[in-house]
Structure 1
Amino acid sequence: MALPKKKTIALIAHDGKKAEMISFVKDNIEFFKKFELVATSTTGKLVAQTGLKVKRYLSGPVGGDAQITALVATEKCHAVIFMRDPLGMHPHEPDIYSLLRICDVHDVPLATNLSSAQLIVKGLAKNLLKE
């Protein structure tokens, strides 16, 4: 009998939020070890430096957000933690909004700040205890 496949969490962080993301990942490293991790390029590189295995996609501005959106739309990503900089200008804003919309359409948990990321971790950890 095959073991069930791990659920996938996507990690994305704008440049001004990357340090916050890495601190969050380090604070919750045992939790993240229980999931397949995907990330946009630079965020993934930084997450990998914590010792976690992470599949890296393109950088956000060149299509990484769109690649992760496709994972959500095809039910291959089960939660997204996206540390956004709401005050910054981002050339790939349409891709960002598409990701937010597709998470809503497919009822996939989406955190866009530290508080909501902590809630996703707590909720998913609680669900893991039930399995």
Structure 2
Amino acid sequence: MSVNKIALVAHDACKDLMVQWVGKHINRLRQISVVATGTTGGRIAAAYPELSVTLLKSGPLGGDQQIGAMIAEGALDGLIFFVDPMSPMPHDVDVKALTRLAIVYDLPMACSPSTADAVLDYLSDDQE
């Protein structure tokens, strides 16, 4: 399967982790279309200005719902969604909604760096 568009979302304390993950995979991510929620995408764009990132609204201001709409429209090939498991979960409804939509539409989704690695491998052309 060839990757065309992937969404990146990181809540709260996981933003640094997402930036590190992107750095690890920068060469592969340059080959595809990347969309990200506002703050996460801004952090990624600042760290890797050579990477083209389409910024959506900040997650709690509608960015998570924009990602959800893209899932429902079939506009995404994968979702990397780092949820902060140690936060009091102010984004709980957004987490549940995105998770539900990814499952309903059978979209490959990862919630940790190791599963994100696996999803990116699954979506890449390197797979037979």
Normalised TM-score (structure 1): 0.88
Which runs of 5 or more residues in structure 1 are unaligned? 1-5
C-alpha separation in 1, matches of 2:88 and 2:63: 17
Hey, what's the Cα distance between the residues in 1 that align with 2:32 and 2:64? 19
Structure 1 match to 2:109: 110
Matches within 5 A, 1:64-83: 64-83=63-82
Once the 2 structures are TM-superposed, how far is the Cα of residue 130 of structure 1 from its aligned partner? 6.1
Superposition pairs of residues 1-131 of structure 1, within 5 angstroms? 7-49=4-46, 50=48, 51-125=50-124, 128-129=125-126
TM normalised by structure 2 equals 0.90
Supply the RMSD in Å over aligned alpha carbons.
1.7
Give the drift of 1:92.
Answer: 3.2
Give the counterpart letter for 2:99 in structure 1. Answer: L
Q: CA deviation at 1:15?
A: 2.1
What letter corresponds to residue 107 of structure 2 in structure 1?
Answer: V
Number of equivalent positions: 125
Query: Structure 2: 5+ residue runs without aligned partners?
Result: none
Looking at both structures, which has the greater relative contact order when contacts are Cα pairs under 8 Å and sequence separation is at least 6?
2
Larger radius of gyration: 1
Work out the CA distance in 1 between the residues paired with 2:87 and 2:25: 27
Identical pairs, percent? 37
1:48 is paired with a residue whose SS is: helix
